[in-house]
Amino acid sequence: MLKELKPRRSERADGSWVSAIADPPEEGLLSTRHLSWVLCVTRHCRHCRGDHGFGTPCHIRRTVAPVPTCLLIRHGRTSSNAKGTLAGWTEGVGLDDVGRSQAAALAERLAGLPIRALVSSPLQRCLETAQIVLSGLKDVSVRTDERLGECRYGAWTGGSLKELAKEPLWRTVQNQPSAARFPDGEGFIGESIAQMQARGLQAVRDIDAAVNDEHGPGAIWALVSHGDIIKSILADAAGAHLDHFQRIIVGPASLSVVSYTQRRPYLVRLNDDGTDLSALVPPPGDAPVGGGAGTAH
């Protein structure tokens, strides 16, 4: 059964009354203003600047604080991806020809965005992707953060995915990843998927706060990382348990977008590999009333 809504009445400074039918908006997302609809209960509304009857819908403009926008980029394809092996932290795994083409196409799409910071996993495939992306940006350099590095697959590192699928641990990785931990191997330590997510999330939150402090709210920044790391970050942004992160697909050189507000993260884009990105540029002023015309030409 639906419960009848009972709007709250509040008095304005000018003596008129409004009855709010929506909670006040929280901090903004790629915009600096928000229109909140209310029922005006005065005939002479100074905020609407109109002369209308009791209960007529009107709108009040409320200020919404902008927040940084994080672009999550997966590295381009590697020969290891093409062969179906688990590269992990193996050194010397770079982009193949397809991966370089994918990164170049992404760089062209990103060139029009005012990206203020670019942070990468220290592994070669991510650094190569970051350098290609950097070619289309101005006044930006690449720095690394080990917390954005690939999951530490331990003894699974370098293994064939076809063969690893026969291991008992494979079903746990697929069905209950929060309980999965990769065993240590010769030359490669293992970690749990939960540990991987925790360090990735901490890195994103720390970098996002630093970008906000250095470049101000509304700034855009990018990271280059790996499939499982990005999937775990996106699962958190969507409010999903880690056990559901295998439902998310993040392709090579794909772009996903998250904005972190004080109340919650927002998943803005997921696994984007070809759409126009100009809509990500923060608007210079008020949000367009009615939603605007979009970016189609």
How far apart are the C-alpha atoms of 161 and 181, rounded to whole Å? Answer: 17
pLDDT attached to residue 219: 95
Q: Specify the DSSP class assigned to residue 156.
A: G
Shared domain for 265 and 124, answered yes or no, is: yes
Shared domain for 73 and 56, answered yes or no, is: no
Shared domain for 25 and 141, answered yes or no, is: no
Shared domain for 222 and 90, answered yes or no, is: yes
Number of domains present in the structure of the chain: 2
Shared domain for 182 and 116, answered yes or no, is: yes
Domain that holds residue 34: 13-63
Say if 35 falls within a structural domain.
yes
- State how far the alpha carbon of 234 is from the alpha carbons of 78, 174, 276, in Å: 22, 17, 21
How many C-alpha atoms does 134 have within 13 Å on its Cβ side?
17
- 53: tokens are 């009857």
Which CATH number do you get for residue 268? 3.40.50.1240
Q: Using one digit for the tens of pLDDT, what is the confidence trace for 180-216?
A: 999 999 999 999 999 999 999 999 999 999 999 999 9
Shared domain for 34 and 167, answered yes or no, is: no
Shared domain for 73 and 213, answered yes or no, is: yes
Shared domain for 53 and 74, answered yes or no, is: no
Shared domain for 43 and 118, answered yes or no, is: no
Return mean pLDDT, the chain: 81
Shared domain for 162 and 223, answered yes or no, is: yes
Q: Using one digit for the tens of pLDDT, what is the confidence trace for 141-187?
A: 999 999 999 999 999 999 999 999 999 999 999 999 999 999 999 99
Q: Using one digit for the tens of pLDDT, what is the confidence trace for 163-172?
A: 999 999 999 9
How far apart are the C-alpha atoms of 183 and 255, rounded to whole Å? Answer: 31
Shared domain for 235 and 164, answered yes or no, is: yes
